Amino acid sequence: MARGTTGSPAANRLPVSLAALLSAIPFGIAHIQPEHILYAAAVGFLLALLYQRFRSLWASIAAHMAINLLASELPVHTPVKTCPPPWGLQ
């Protein structure tokens, strides 16, 4: 969405990094939850650079899918270390 609305037209007139930043802002805002906006904007910036490098949405779509997979599966499969109970309270 952000790549099609601000990424391509802006890239024709602006430096790539500035166009990527302008594309990343709506990408971050589109993720709605305040705690995810900055992270999503940073990811959007990298995805925009990926799009500019390969001139294909498929590269950034594949990267976005990989990031979403990691974000959804990694917390589930990461063991949580717990502190042992204090002595005598087992």
Rg (CA), the chain: 19
pLDDT at residue 58 greater than cutoff 90 = yes
Q: Is the pLDDT of residue 48 over 80?
A: yes
Region 2-25 average pLDDT: 74
pLDDT category, 71, cuts 50, 70, 90? confident
3-state helix, strand, coil split of the chain in percent (to 5) is 75, 0, 25
